Chain A
Amino acid sequence: MMPVLDLPTLWAFVIAFAVFAYVVMDGFDLGIGILFPFFAPGPERDSAMNSVAPVWDGNETWLVLGGGGLMAAFPLAYAIILPALYAPIIAMVLALIFRGVAFEFRWRDAGHRRYWDFAFTTGSVVATLAQGITLGALLQGIAVEGRSYAGGWWDWLTPFSLLVGMSLVVGYALLGATWLVMKTEGTVQDHSFRLAGRLAIGLIVCIGLVSAATPFLSSAYYQRWFAWPQVLFTAQVPLLVGLCSGTLVVSLLRRWEYWPFLLTLGLFGLCLLGLGVSMFPYVVPSAVTIHEAAAPDISLRFMLVGASVLIPIILVYTGYSYWVFRGKTGHEGYH
């Protein structure tokens, strides 16, 4: 079947875009949380925190758009996926509470700053792990009966979902490290370069493992990736991943400041593309397609009018806000 660009397909792209925007923006600030214990208390941690404090709230809003958008555009998928992933979703929102308030609380309570730093890290790790597990569990399939989830409340926990969870922790940590490479200097930057090098190797291994495992989760995925002649097309994805990975390693060895972050984003983009190749046109793999899950056209059209005007505006003022807080943190007068 040829994919036609109808309203459900358009909305699948809008939501994929929201998810990617979320990963691009919240990925690095969750990553900084994950790496927090590796930085010394005091100026190192403070400048790492300062580099994201003005923007984290906006970053997290993309997650709300992803969740809210899924409910609005694909209510059936939202109604099946969220109960199926009850424990990881609840863990994620609770973890986000801890790390979100830590941004403010650590400045208000010097006596307990260690605890809020711990909350910041634990919250970031758990939220990331939960997001990865959610993705892994979705990929491996969800039991559906009629219009609802039909499995147990531990179905999400498998070696594969844990692998994806761990991979995302490594991936976000790399985004965080490369962000700090870009936004800091001196000891924090040196430190970040070293961490980024190890994490880059780790992420490349993880991508390899997940990619190797995915086609064997179901024959549909295998067909999708290896059937002739579309293998000519799908094979471009792993090739580009390889190219991107190689350049990333080089950029870190040569201590380039901007490229490591951008190339890591490139890797994330390619993984999302690969995910799209595996899943499309399903939203709950091998159970519910985007057309089956889609809200009526009148709902999708009503939202699309707003989204097509508002999302570009949002991107402009989000960009402006980043621009206001541009440059290196914690060191005045640097260009």
Chain B
Amino acid sequence: MFDQFDALLLARFQFAFTVSFHFIFPSFSIGLASYLAVLEGLWLWTGREVYLNLFKYWLKIFALAFAMGVVSGIVMSYQFGTNWSVFSDKAGPVIGPLMAYEVMTAFFLEAGFLGIMLFGMGRVGRKLHIAATLAVAIGTFISAFWILSANSWMQTPVGYGINEAGQFVPQDWWAIVFNPSFPYRLVHTVLAAYLTTALVVGGVGAWHLLRERTNKGARVMFSMAMGMVAVVAPLQIFAGDMHGLNTLEHQPAKVMAMEGHFQSHPDGAPLILFGIPDQEAGVVRNAIEIPKASSLILKHDLNAPLAGLDTIERANWPYVPIVFWSFRIMVGLGFAMLALGALSLWARLRGRLHDWRLLHRLALVMGPSGFVAVIAGWVTTEVGRQPFTVYGLLRTAASASPLEAPAVAASLLTFIVVYFIVFGAGTGYILKLMSKPPHRGETGPEAGPDHPIRAAGITPAPAVDPDRTLGAEA
């Protein structure tokens, strides 16, 4: 009952499942690492204890999120080989070195300094400690740089030749690394990570403000987070628009799917707000649309002609309903974030930031929205690239490993069970930490009421002068 098609579909589902789960953690830890560096910097600069407490409060959460990011990432680095071996053979010479650079410049940097960042307070001096925090923060960014370069090359491949074995052979590394969609994707994704983190921090701050309006830590984190949302949300919408125009230039079929444009519009295309795309029939049913608005957005001209999927061979269509909906979820949440940022600015100007309960409730509800938007955006761009792995050149159906369907089915099932248990528990622990209000004398990951042993020391610390260390302040 299993044939090749099933094995392919299962492998695709497995990749989508594992990468979506994985993406949640870095999209949080990229922003959180930077936030921690800012908190530690502010503490060193101002000497205010509230920043140190917030640093330690979020450091415990970071430790959990980072560990889950690492282990779910190891899965990804092997899955290319286990499930997408033909892709690995053919695209390995281009993609492989980019990922090797990610490991060498980012993963080691993060991992090498994470231990000091998490457990090194009390073992190294203040300057060295903030250097470790910065190294981890910079490492998360470098990691995003390389992996998004690799992903972008799959979307907009340039700078390659093809050898007799059918492998992509690099010709111009500069062109490959800085391929046409990369700068846009990098900015859009990193901003998304910052926004996601700001929304989480804001949501946690709002939760504690709703319960205890005077909590100093909650007030500071809420204020910082809302400031970040107010600044980044509009920037992100602008960056997203630029990214969309870049996609229109290089991957028109993806934009057609996002817009739901099955048909070409020679004199101004409508903006379809909602509707039910029917892939078989090639129409969007029950569409609610604004005439000519899509041409205005994409071409800055009401009457500009826009081609539809009818200009593209059906075998090369992405699956429109998924792309259409995931795009709307992302954009809708983006505008909700913009509204939250604007409301918070208004509240700030009126001096009501810390006692306007409606704003706090709204921020609480929006707390997880960044994750949803990130996943929706990822689905838009990845499903929109289909039916190719390397856009226009290597079909997904021709990329998979020669595996039997039961093998893939078994692994997929195991991944689902394990991920829900492990990451479910991990998310539970993170929520437990978040549910406690930040307080004076906050402890870091190395100590706490649950585990006094760890505080007793991973190593002897007599070599370190206690007056010079961070731990002495707390």
Contact = CB atoms under 8 A, between A and B. Distances in A.
B453 A79 contact: no
Given A100-B70, A153-B403, A78 B414 contact: no
Nearest to A87: B407
A327 B460 contact: yes
Nearest to A99: B71
Most A C-beta atoms less than 10 A away, residue of B79, B97, B450: B97
Given A67-B81, A68-B96, A107-B450, A328 B459 contact: yes
A78 B459 contact: no
A64 B143 CA distance: 13
Interface in B169-195: 169-171, 173
A247 interface: no
Interface in A286-335: 295-296, 298-299, 302-303, 306-307, 310-311, 314, 317-318, 320-321, 324-335
Contacts of B304: none
Given A54-B119, A75-B89, A330 B456 contact: yes
B422 interface: yes
B108 A58 contact: yes
Nearest to B110: A57
Given A79-B81, A79-B92, A325 B123 contact: yes
Given A75-B167, A148-B402, A314-B108, A333 B75 contact: no
B103 A68 contact: yes
Interface stretch (B61-69, B282-290, B308-316, B389-397): B61-69
A97 B82 CA distance: 17
A217 interface: no
A90 B411 contact: yes
Contact of B462 (A43, A86, A333): A333
A108 B450 contact: yes
A324 B116 contact: yes
A24 interface: no
A47 B452 CA distance: 12
Given A67-B78, A97-B422, A325-B123, A53 B64 contact: no
B429 interface: yes
B115 A324 contact: yes
Contacts of A299: 93-94, 96-97, 169-170
A103 B429 CA distance: 13
Interface string B84-103: 01101111111111011111
A329 B95 CA distance: 42
B414 to A, nearest CB: 6
Range class of the B interface residue count: 35 or more
A57 B435 CA distance: 27
B65 to A, nearest CB: 10
A94 B415 contact: yes
Contacts of A190: none
B297 interface: no
B276 to A, nearest CB: 38
Contact of A89 (B82, B101, B124): B82
Interface in B276-308: none
Contacts, number: 289
Contact of A101 (B95, B110, B422): B422
Contacts of B429: 104-105, 108-109
Contacts of B74: 60, 63-64, 93, 96-97, 100
Contact of B96 (A71, A148, A152, A310): A71
Contacts of B70: 57, 60, 100
A76 B89 contact: yes
A94 B78 contact: no
Interface in B37-79: 63-64, 66-68, 70-75, 77-79
Contacts of A83: 81-83, 85, 401-403
Interface string A22-64: 0000000000000000000001001100110111011011011
Given A302-B170, A302-B173, A333-B462, A71 B81 contact: yes
Interface string A140-155: 0000000111101100
Contacts of B401: 79, 82-83, 86, 148-149
A225 interface: no
B362 interface: no
B426 interface: yes
B82 A90 contact: yes
Nearest to A50: B458
A317 B85 contact: no
Nearest to A108: B429
B75 A93 contact: yes
18 contacts: A53-B115, A54-B120, A64-B77, A71-B96, A76-B89, A82-B82, A89-B78, A94-B415, A100-B70, A101-B425, A153-B406, A296-B93, A299-B96, A302-B97, A303-B101, A310-B105, A327-B459, A330-B453
Given A108-B450, A321-B113, 12 more contacts: A57-B114, A57-B115, A71-B88, A79-B89, A89-B78, A93-B74, A97-B74, A104-B67, A108-B433, A295-B167, A310-B105, A333-B460
